[in-house]
A and B are shown apart, each in its own frame.
Chain A
Amino acid sequence: MNTKMQTQEKTDLLVVNKLTKYFPVRSGVFQRTTAWVQAVDKVSFAVKNGETLGMVGESGCGKTTVGRSILRLIEPTSGEVTFNGEDIIKMRPKSLKALRRDMQIIFQDPYASLNPRMPIGEAVMEGLQIHKIGHPKERWEVAINMLKKVGLEEYHARRYPHEFSGGQRQRIGIARALALQPKFIVCDEPVSALDVSIQSQVLNILKDLQKEFGLTYLFIAHNLSVVEHISDRVAVMYLGKMVELTGRDSLYREPLHPYTKALLSAIPVPHPEVKRDRTILKGDVPSPLNPPKGCRFHTRCPIAVAQCSQAEPEFKEARPGHWVACWMVE
């Protein structure tokens, strides 16, 4: 049993290869494309079956775009996304619809992600209706079951979203994503809009459900502590590029990329006397409209050398299982 589990864990459920998304900037009377926002640029990674891959980075770095491109909620410019051996990017609408049963998303804003005119029970069973699974009565039962799984009661099912708190709504969003029994869920900052006290509650529900259903998560967040709590491996993004990807412990103990180091040094320490060795980055994140040549981080990097502004570092496996894109890492 144990060995079987291990081999299963090793297989890649989702492989993302050189995923790129450029958004056109249109201007003028004829709406010609005058520039491109390079939101995500050649990002490659894999998510293993049953694991949680955390993805961190500051706002605007393309985390969310990656999550939505994987689900094809936005069409990527180029690249490959292979899920269970099938290329999602080339999929036709019909097979894409079938795929939606296996891949789901939990949204950041619990207030906007539920239709205000739809009772939440109906919202949870919407996926079943769309895929014509079961009879109406069975669907309703599934919906109530799912609501119970996230700590809500049967009598809640007929209520409308405005009658719930943010945390409850986020749990409803989780129930909706789970109703189709997916294998893989993109959690797009699911707790960043919530109160700190509610955050842990939602995180624990996510963890429990992962155990119960054998789910795989891509967990997008900007809060490093949250990511440390839930992830098996962590990817760090900067300005549309992935800069580091490794196991959680190795990332938090021995980060290789200077950007990751700076991020980690910004985590507040809950002890008044501990002196922190903070790396303060200079300047702002450059615009993705016109990203710096070479390594995108070189304008703010404390250890940049001449080479960094000329050529882009490759995203390579510097240590076993530890991927990083930096010239200074050997």
Chain B
Amino acid sequence: MTVSAQNIDNLKAEAISIEERSPFQVVMMRFVKHRLAMVSLAVMIVIFIITIMAPYITSFKVDELNVNNYFVPFGTVDEATGRVHYLGTDNIGRDYFSRLIYAGRISLSVALLSVLISETIGILVGAVSGFYGGWVDAILMRFVEFMLSIPQLPLLLIISSMLLRNENLIPIPEAVLNFVGKIMLLGPKDARNAILIVIILAGFGWLSSATLMRGTILSLREQTFVEASRSLGATDVWIIFKHMIPNAMAPIIVDASLGLAGFVIYEAALAFLGFGIQDPIPTWGNMLSATQQYMFDKPWLPLVPGLPIFICSLAFNYIGDGLRDALDPRLKL
């Protein structure tokens, strides 16, 4: 085997192209090679597209009752209008397929919003705590540890029942209600219910991301480039936003994708226990919850909303794993 001139040229071209890659491109390259994560990403994209298209692919309204047609089997045709109940109907005759799609939209939006809010709070609190250290750090971290040491599910139940019963306990601006309502295809009143659940989930979700962020910041704080920036006259805010947070994003991105899986499950758990988003708003969790009495006679009823919960949490976990591998600087491909 000899190395031809052509090969050497190829090598050179490759060497040059490697040099031209930005860190983002390198991460993308590694992520694409993670097969399970790519499949999961594809599955999630399909699920997102389906839920975004909800009004166009469903023919029934979520709260459209047909009391004479409860528990009809898959694929039953509605005789009056000729529409098809692809997944049958539930115990009060609502189209199961429509509810499933709309529920997906709501459950996923709740998870996404919760992740956005909890990661933002976590990043800020963790950055301040790690950067300033001293008593600021001590107070913030003791608070976080205190919160983390409380059994979460009972506390979540208490808080959510408290918030759901006293609607005006937390005032939510009209604009937010309308915005969230538009995302989830809900009226302002129902949107309030969803937002409360987001607040509850994010209110606990930020704790772990704050500790994660703090750890990363602690190690970054001692880096010379931070000192260099200070010697240029940078303020603390500048250093945190320009140097700390961009360098601490890798674990946060991974945490966020794993957090999505966690929030999908947490939302379902709350709803299953009857403290989440309330019927008639459909979510995967309360659809599952509603089947409790019937699940031994009609086992497909819990499977229909249960399967997407399972698939989404699995997919988000795999995506998180893929991102973790791709963002790890010690792995060089």
Which residues between 71 and 104 of chain A lie within 8 Å of chain B, taking CB atoms?
Answer: 71, 73, 96-98, 100-101, 103-104
B223 at the interface (CB under 8 A from A): yes
Residues of B within 8 Å of A, CB-based: how many? 20
A73 vs B231: C-alpha distance in the bound complex, in angstroms?
7
Task: Tell me the nearest residue of chain B to A126, going by C-beta.
Answer: B232
A100 vs B235: C-alpha distance in the bound complex, in angstroms?
12
Residues of A within 8 Å of B, CB-based: how many? 30
Question: How many whole Å from A159's CB to the nearest CB in chain B?
Answer: 8
Instruction: Tell whether, in the assembled complex, residue A180 and residue B232 are in contact, meaning their CB atoms are under 8 Å apart.
Output: yes
Instruction: Tell whether, in the assembled complex, residue A130 and residue B223 are in contact, meaning their CB atoms are under 8 Å apart.
Output: no
Chain B interface secondary structure, helix, strand, loop or mixed?
A: helix
Partner among B19, B23, B225, B238 whose Cβ is within 8 Å of the Cβ of A130: B238
Question: How many whole Å from B121's CB to the nearest CB in chain A?
Answer: 22
A117 contacts across to B, CB distance below 8 A: 23, 246-247
Question: How many whole Å from B30's CB to the nearest CB in chain A?
Answer: 15
A10 at the interface (CB under 8 A from B): no
Instruction: Tell whether, in the assembled complex, residue A101 and residue B225 are in contact, meaning their CB atoms are under 8 Å apart.
Output: no
Instruction: Tell whether, in the assembled complex, residue B233 and residue A131 are in contact, meaning their CB atoms are under 8 Å apart.
Output: yes
A109 contacts across to B, CB distance below 8 A: 224
Question: How many whole Å from B67's CB to the nearest CB in chain A?
Answer: 60
Partner among A113, A159, A162 whose Cβ is within 8 Å of the Cβ of B228: A113
B229 contacts across to A, CB distance below 8 A: 115, 126, 130
Instruction: Tell whether, in the assembled complex, residue B224 and residue A127 are in contact, meaning their CB atoms are under 8 Å apart.
Output: no
Instruction: Tell whether, in the assembled complex, residue B246 and residue A130 are in contact, meaning their CB atoms are under 8 Å apart.
Output: no
A98 vs B235: C-alpha distance in the bound complex, in angstroms?
12
A160 vs B228: C-alpha distance in the bound complex, in angstroms?
17
Instruction: Tell whether, in the assembled complex, residue B233 and residue A105 are in contact, meaning their CB atoms are under 8 Å apart.
Output: no
Give the interface centre of B223, B233, B234, B238 by most chain A CB atoms within 10 Å.
Answer: B233
18 new A-B contacts at CB < 8 Å, known A104-B232, A117-B246, A118-B242: A71-B231, A73-B227, A97-B233, A100-B231, A101-B233, A105-B228, A112-B223, A112-B225, A114-B225, A115-B229, A115-B243, A116-B247, A117-B247, A126-B229, A127-B233, A130-B233, A131-B233, A160-B23
Listed A/B pairs (20) with beta-carbon separation below 8 Å: A73-B231, A101-B233, A104-B232, A105-B228, A107-B224, A112-B223, A112-B225, A115-B243, A115-B246, A115-B247, A116-B247, A117-B246, A118-B242, A118-B246, A126-B242, A127-B233, A130-B235, A160-B22, A176-B228, A176-B232
Q: Which 8 A-B pairs have the closest CB atoms?
A: A100-B233, A127-B232, A112-B224, A113-B224, A97-B233, A117-B246, A115-B225, A105-B231
